[in-house]
Structure 1
Amino acid sequence: MALPKQHGQRAPTIYDVARSAGVSHQSVSRMLNGETVRPLTRSRIEAAITELDYRPNPTARALATSVSYRLGALVYELQELGPSQIAQGAADQARAAGYLLDIVALNPRDDASIAHAIELLDQQHLAGILALAPTQRLVDALQTVDYRIPVYIDSEPLFDGTAATETLNTTGTRLALDHLVGLGHSRIFHISGPPEWISARNRLAAYRGYVADHGLPAFEPVYGDWTAASGFEAAARISRDAGITAVFVSNDQMAMGALRAFSEAGIRVPEQLSVVSFDDVPESGFTIPPLTTVRLDFAEQGRLAVERLVAMIRNDPEPPLPERPRVSLVVRQSTAAAPPV
């Protein structure tokens, strides 16, 4: 781990990076200037950059090469864990690749906010743009702009039941529902996220497809807005007479609100009602009871998005996805066997 530099300590140079990586300083310079180097060499240089906390001077490099080393990033809701971790992962990967990441926040529900944020990104001084697009409204707006630099839109297709539109959200939904069905639950309710959010729509579509495929009763969902307050309100609207024994909630924050609503209504979780949710935020292990939830690696999402943007800038092949599973189920105490009828 790189230690913080003391006052007056010399900042590392490309020669230090080259020595640490066991390569020539010309190789370091070529990689930092966006030229193609061997994958193993790039990996060793990036590791040395991180270890030494090397920070290239983007202004000097831009003047010397007439190439920009700044990336623009359109982000949203940085007060929330998922978006903030995605942005942090993106910033870390950009720095490792020798770029600075300029962040512009927007409201993905608001056309004026989207238009203003796009205008703020001065494309003439950027090497590329990363757009985190959680809503179709934002995707559509981005696709109408005539860009002169590479743009990577980090979004997902709307799930239509085919393999081509499978995403981590649809895979995670099935993991959650498989878990509940394995515990004997057949009447499963869904608290959905806001319908304009692509991830919420895909989780809902996967839920509907799953219950249809398994011959389970389908319940019309109640929608929340990702907040605990909306989860509390949504849970209070679930019919007590429908024989529901499990609830799949579209994110952990809403599930936390739902847990309080069930507690205040005298419904014991998981003895009378199982609850499973999505995201695995740090607080999900400390609710009463701790939440069973689908884990997503948000920081990895940001890193992968920047890897793809940098590959576009350098005209390199698209990097492969990690071979290990990128979504998993964390089983805790909010789920149990279905109660006897």
Structure 2
Amino acid sequence: MTADAVGETAVPTGEQEPGTPAKPPTIYDVARAAGVSHQTVSRYLKGYQGIRPQTQEKVAKALEALKYRPNLTARSLKSGRPHRLAALTHEIDQVGPSRIVQGASTAARQAGYLLDIITFDMSDADAVDEAVRLAASQDVAGILALASTDAMTEVFERTDFRVPAHIAAEEDDALTGHTTQLTDLGFPSLIAYLAGLGHERFLHIAGPSDYSAARNRARAYERALADRGLASTGTLHGDWSAQSGYEAVMRLGRGIEATAVIAANDQTALGAMLALKELGLRVPEDVSVTGVDDIPEAAYFSPPLTTLRVDFAAQGRSAVQELLSRIDGTQPPRVPALQTELVIRASTAWAAKA
């Protein structure tokens, strides 16, 4: 048996004796199901780079189908270190951050770690120190610090985590010069689709300016319009909530000039659609509305929402792989950030004639 498989036992092929309890699957079972070597499965679980995407997909499906769970006790005894991670978050009630945490939890489990989720109130000056102390008291191998706002990122950057840590925050495109799929593919495809329907007048309802994600989306919107020689009728700022989308449109009233409203997220789009209805404007006959994220409820809005789907789970997996690479002293695998695709539904249609 190889060192990678300490604490696991190969299960001979063949039928199990009737009445005996089912044995938990091993990496050998996963390897057989995926059609790869057990060394490949072991490398995948450790987050190593160099595994082909098609092979990664096969292993991931086999792990899920067999409900594989690593033997954490054996691994801890072998390595002499804990197999627990801690995730610090201040926005577990928001759709995107909660799905990032879910993706991180899955990735941690597949890599042989348990992920403890610790939430805190960012308005409390002592909350971060308390959360870090709590995480350290759990004897964790590393800490994943999930930040959305500029202020929270700054707090994490000043924090002494005392164990390997990774601050997972969306980078500001304007500062790094590194754009994501949402900027390079998502917004261009959305604007191209709407322009193809004859839309020439656009309105953006942005997220709060202290979020790098909101700034990136606003710039992506402006850039996509400029690349097609189109102009925005304006940008209004909300706070990601349906209420802020509703209030932004109501402030404009029936004098709204745009034939297409591009909301920074789906909840904002939901509020905008209600406001348009109350103003006597039809969606999509008079005004088309789109969002970003593709939350589970987006397909059941009235009308169902056209949106840019964001793979938040992939962000969570990438963050865990980055943390594990810091723990192991290895290079993290390259994972595209903010993978996205355009999802077309009934909230968009041909532009109304002037």
Aligned partners of 1:238, 1:256: CA distance in 2, in Å?
Answer: 16
SS of aligned partner of 2:240: coil
Aligned partners of 2:317, 2:40: CA distance in 1, in Å?
Answer: 21
Structure 1 pair 294–19 and aligned structure 2 pair: CA distance change class (3 A) = closer
Residue 18 (str. 1) matches residue 32 (str. 2): no
Aligned residue runs from structure 1 range 229-268, under 5 A: 229-268=243-282
* 2:31–2:41 Cα contact (<8 Å) kept: no
SS of aligned partner of 1:294: strand
Residue 330 (str. 1) matches residue 343 (str. 2): yes
**Deviations along 1:255-310, whole A, 9 cap, x unmatched?**
11111111111101111111111111121111121111000111222122212222
Aligned partners of 1:24, 1:170: CA distance in 2, in Å?
Answer: 38
Residue 68 (str. 1) matches residue 87 (str. 2): no
Aligned partners of 1:282, 1:131: CA distance in 2, in Å?
Answer: 25
Structure 1 pair 9–227 and aligned structure 2 pair: CA distance change class (3 A) = farther
Give identity over the alignment, percent. 41
SS of aligned partner of 2:262: strand
* 1:272–1:339 Cα contact (<8 Å) kept: yes
Structure 1 pair 258–49 and aligned structure 2 pair: CA distance change class (3 A) = closer
Equivalent of 1:151 in 140, 144, 165: 165
* 1:71–1:99 Cα contact (<8 Å) kept: yes
SS of aligned partner of 2:291: strand
Aligned residue runs from structure 1 range 196-215, under 5 A: 196-215=210-229
Look up the match of 2:178. Answer: 165
Structure 1 pair 131–11 and aligned structure 2 pair: CA distance change class (3 A) = farther
Structure 1 pair 232–313 and aligned structure 2 pair: CA distance change class (3 A) = same
* 2:182–2:339 Cα contact (<8 Å) kept: no
Look up the match of 2:300. Answer: 286
Structure 1 residue runs without a partner (length 5+):
1-7
**Deviations along 1:62-114, whole A, 9 cap, x unmatched?**
35532121111112332333222211111111111101101111345664433
Q: Count residues in correspondence.
A: 329
Equivalent of 1:137 in 143, 151, 156: 151
Instruction: For residue 57 of structure 1, report the CA deviation from its aligned partner.
Output: 5.0
Structure 1 pair 199–61 and aligned structure 2 pair: CA distance change class (3 A) = same
Aligned partners of 1:190, 1:152: CA distance in 2, in Å?
Answer: 33
Aligned residue runs from structure 1 range 50-69, under 5 A: 50-59=64-73, 61-69=75-83
Normalization by structure 2: what TM-score?
A: 0.79
Aligned partners of 1:240, 1:33: CA distance in 2, in Å?
Answer: 55
SS of aligned partner of 1:300: helix
Aligned partners of 1:331, 1:46: CA distance in 2, in Å?
Answer: 28
* 1:189–1:244 Cα contact (<8 Å) kept: yes
Aligned partners of 2:122, 2:181: CA distance in 1, in Å?
Answer: 21
Aligned residue runs from structure 1 range 79-118, under 5 A: 79-108=93-122, 111-118=125-132
Equivalent of 1:310 in 307, 324, 337: 324
Look up the match of 1:340. Answer: 353
SS of aligned partner of 1:340: coil
Look up the match of 2:17. Answer: none
Aligned partner of 2:192: which letter? Answer: D
Instruction: For residue 124 of structure 1, report the CA deviation from its aligned partner.
Output: 8.1
Instruction: For residue 220 of structure 1, report the CA deviation from its aligned partner.
Output: 3.9
Normalization by structure 1: what TM-score?
A: 0.82
* 2:30–2:41 Cα contact (<8 Å) kept: no
Look up the match of 2:12. Answer: none
Aligned partners of 2:147, 2:173: CA distance in 1, in Å?
Answer: 16
Instruction: For residue 201 of structure 1, report the CA deviation from its aligned partner.
Output: 1.4
Aligned partners of 2:47, 2:291: CA distance in 1, in Å?
Answer: 44
